[in-house]
Structure 1
């Protein structure tokens, strides 16, 4: 058994991800069909470990995808695993946050291959990838306002770094999905291709990038990450933002949002 088999089967027989290497390209497959690929802590830890192993083995390009035949690429952060109201729902040490950092810091291109709908934190994960290739079934929605959840500043910077600010506001304020054609127009998707060509097209681009100079690509990617990630924010401004977030995740609205989701009903937010 290879170390990749060991990572993918930490909790066999119901592995949540598949890990394989094809033509020197690392492929990570979300496989929790029963939970619509909800971004569970154990899944995120395995993704992070797999990326670390790929980096150690100098795998030049990684593809992140969902299992074939799924209409939902990922339903987003597993709501049942969010901390109870009163605690920061998206702290620095959250396994999803660790995976986002691992994707962004990976020393080579990470491609999101998207078939189906992408929800919540999974949208952040797709935007953290370097290239997005999708078919016509793809859609994208960022939904924290449906729960009363204050998204973190780091995550907002991921969106602002890729998309126009007015579009980011609309996505966050309405939580309405954008379909594939619009997502391509807005710059979420690099290549929009027919479903029958999705895997072939993705592998072609991955092979092309894998043939290029890996040290040069790693240096370019890291420079771009530093340029986009390290936006100066005054300490007092950051503290004010954190205070605004704290008021939201300690609020009755946040408790109501989580309760409504679990009870499968519409929340009744009161702004308190």
Structure 2
């Protein structure tokens, strides 16, 4: 099979990488230090947080190549930046700069190259200090919504169970205690 058919069926290595990012229970940060086009940009879009340098360019050129992009890929962009900006990126096919990418929500933060690595690691550190069970539940809930947008009973039950499991956890109790005691919580992932 050719790459395009495998990609549409979710069997292409790039599609498998994006599924791994999406299905990871842990937050994934894309640190973008160079231009991001096509599947490279979709990998960044699949990440939970995107941080880039100010000099990056971003683009989706399939129309320039006569290619039909995958439904799941287009859906990822719609979920992140909405249908209007997705159409702009895909129908025009021309790159946008980091300032515009940040303004439309394609990247969360754009900054000088000299600050990129430190800033990204600080964000990762901030995330790592949070309650692991809460992080996993929030990521799963947002993924469920992005996949469906209208919750079916099975997904509603999953979200209910995730919420209960976090509220019944030691981390939840520790977070409440730490807040009332005005101290930093010590989460254990239990």
Per the TM superposition, whether the score is higher than 0.5 is: yes
**How far did residue 231 of structure 1 move?**
4.5
Counterpart CA distance in 2 for 1:84 and 1:134 is 28
Q: Deviations over 1:197-226 (max 9, x none)?
A: 100000011011111111110011001000
Equivalent residue for 2:86?
Answer: 168
Q: Report the CA distance shift for 1:84/1:113 in structure 2 as closer, same or farther (over 3 A).
A: closer
Calculate the TM-score normalised by the size of structure 1.
0.52
Per the TM alignment, residue 90 of structure 1 is displaced from its structure 2 partner at its CA by: 3.0
The correspondence for 1:106, drawn from 24, 27, 34, is 24
1:70-98 deviation line (CA, Å, top 9, x unaligned): xxxxxxxxxxxx8178x465322111111
Partner of residue 57, structure 2:
139
Contact 1:89 1:149 in 2 (8 A): no
| Runs of 4+ residues over 6 Å off in structure 1 | none
Change (3 A) 1:109 1:89: closer
Residue deviations 1:90-149, cap 9 Å, x none?
A: 322111111111101111110000111101011111110000111112111011112211
Tell me the number of residue pairs that the alignment of Structure 1 and Structure 2 aligns: 150
Instruction: State the secondary structure of the residue aligned to 1:134.
Output: strand
Quickly say closer, same or farther: Cα 1:143–1:207, change in 2 above 3 A.
same
Q: TM-score, normalised by structure 2?
A: 0.74
2:117 is aligned with 1:199: yes
User: If each structure's strand is expressed as a fraction of its own residues, which one has the higher value?
Assistant: 1
Query: How many Å separate the matches in 1 of 2:89 and 2:39?
Result: 13
> Equivalents in 2 of 1:231, 1:136: separation in Å?
33
Q: Secondary structure at the match of 1:125?
A: helix
Q: Alignment partner for residue 101 of structure 2, among 167, 183, 196?
A: 183
Mapping for residues 10-21 of structure 1, pairs under 5 Å: none
RMSD over equivalenced CA pairs, Å: 1.7
Which one has the bigger helix percentage? Answer: 2
